[in-house]
Amino acid sequence: MNINNVATNYSKPYMVYRWNEKSFGELYDKLTKPEYGIGLKLELIPIYIAVVLREYKEHTVITYRNVEMEITGQLLENINQKPSDYEIYCETWDEKKEKYINEMEKIFSEYLDESEKKYNTFEYIVKAVHRWFLQLPKYAKEYKVDYVKIHKKEGVIDSFTPEAIDQKIDKFRNSLRGTRINSRDFLFNRLFSIFNTKDYDKVIDVLKKCIVSLDNVEYDLIEGYLTDNLKEVFEPKGIEGLTLTSAAKDWYDGLKSSTKNNVFADSKDQLLKKVKELGNDNVEFVESLAKIFTGLRIDDWNDNTVEIFMKDVKSAVDDINDFDEQNVIDVGDKETYKIKYADKNGEEVEMTFANQDIEGFSENLLNDIEALLFEDYKEAVSNSQKIAILLNVLKKYC
């Protein structure tokens, strides 16, 4: 039997028009059982399928347990072993679908791997979409509260009722989680269901908007909600046209010298140092504050982190303001220390800080320092040098 004649006579009825996610088992029955009048030998069927796929490969999807497979010679041999485990779908093609696929290629061109086209038509596009999704920061992948929408609707606010993000964005993100995606189903069914339309142009339009939202959500959070609310923390009067960095600088400039020189605990001290050396980059300033107060880059935030961050910054600024107004350290019966020294330029530098309870790990550290300076180096280093060493440590870290 001439395999080319079989392919010519039976390719369309059996491989295209009659196959709508049908099992290869049914196709094998029609090709091998006597009652269908073809009688093709089992070992020839992979060759037959390969001949047919030369014409229809571009619009054909083969799946194994609902997972799309790359169309290779090995796949055809595997099908020959257990045909009922595999299904085939040949997409009926038209100009709308052609335009749709071309638009998808343009949108995700940066993430396309041209070498993947040789296996089949659709999977290389879905792999590109998945690559785009994977490069998004954690925050963009997981956020549920639309702070950008809140900011645009309400402006600067102290409290708010979180609004859920657009369900289309959420469903689109969820469709891309996992490693194996049925590409034909994703492109021609799921996206249409997610965006609630049957129109190809509408899918492309909504998809572009989702991509823009996810690509920019972190930057929008920084430049919008965080910047405006932080500005309100540093400058409650809400001076129109004032930038965040200017608000922070004005706040710092208005503090007393004793406040600036005081050594505050942890994040408050880091905040003062950051504002003291602040430039004019709002985004860099917000990112620095994020690291100081949360220990995380904004990339790795979630919705809870946003609220915790704002509360902690406001609390730190309020504590510094309270100290500045009182100009005393509320430490009860604890000792208060003030150190003055001249820097290399001859300018006087003053540090003020309250004594802290030393216990646990800090007590171990104190014992280690004393043992190192006054036992191990007892004779090797003079007392004045030991004092100089301790003062240098204070200058470096305070």
Instruction: Give the tens place of pLDDT for each residue, 242-261.
Output: 999 999 999 999 999 888 88
* Stronger pLDDT, 329 or 367, i.e. the higher one: 367
Going by their DSSP bridges, the two strands 336-342 and 348-354 should be labelled as antiparallel
C-alpha count within 13 angstroms, C-beta hemisphere, residue 82: 5
Residues 6+ apart with CB under 8 A from 27: 14, 15, 19, 83, 88
User: How far is residue 62's CA from residue 76's CA, in Å, rounded to a whole number?
Assistant: 10
**Helix 282-294 with 227-234: angle, nearest 10 deg:** 80
Question: Cβ contacts of residue 391 below 8 Å, gap of 6+?
Answer: 339, 341
Average pLDDT of span 44-52: 84
Kindly state the average pLDDT of the residues 7-17.
Answer: 44
Please, what is the average pLDDT of the chain? Answer: 83
Lowest mean pLDDT across 203-207, 216-220, 235-239: 235-239
Between the alpha carbon of residue 253 and those of residues 3, 245, 257, 259, 262, the distances in Å are 88, 12, 9, 11, 15
Q: Looking at residue 331, what is its pLDDT?
A: 47
- Of 231, 320, 229, the residue nearest 267 (C-alpha): 320
Q: 350 has which bridge partners? A: 340
Q: Angle, nearest 10°, between helix axes 167-175 and 200-220?
A: 100
Q: Give percent above pLDDT 90 in the chain.
A: 43
Checking if the pLDDT of 50 tops 90, the result is no
Output the six-digit token pair for 309. Answer: 């961050």
What pLDDT score does 35 carry?
84
Q: pLDDT of 144-201, one tens digit each?
A: 998 887 777 776 655 555 677 889 999 999 999 987 788 888 999 999 999 999 999 9
Task: Report the alpha-carbon distance of residue 48 to residue 44 in Å, rounded.
Answer: 6
The confidence score (pLDDT) of residue 148 equals 81
Residue range 101-160, pLDDT digits in tens: 999 999 999 999 988 887 666 889 999 999 999 999 999 999 999 888 777 777 665 555
Higher pLDDT: 61 or 293? It is 293
Question: For residue 3, what pLDDT band results from cuts at 50, 70 and 90?
Answer: very low
**Nearest C-alpha neighbor of 10 from the set 27, 23, 34:** 27
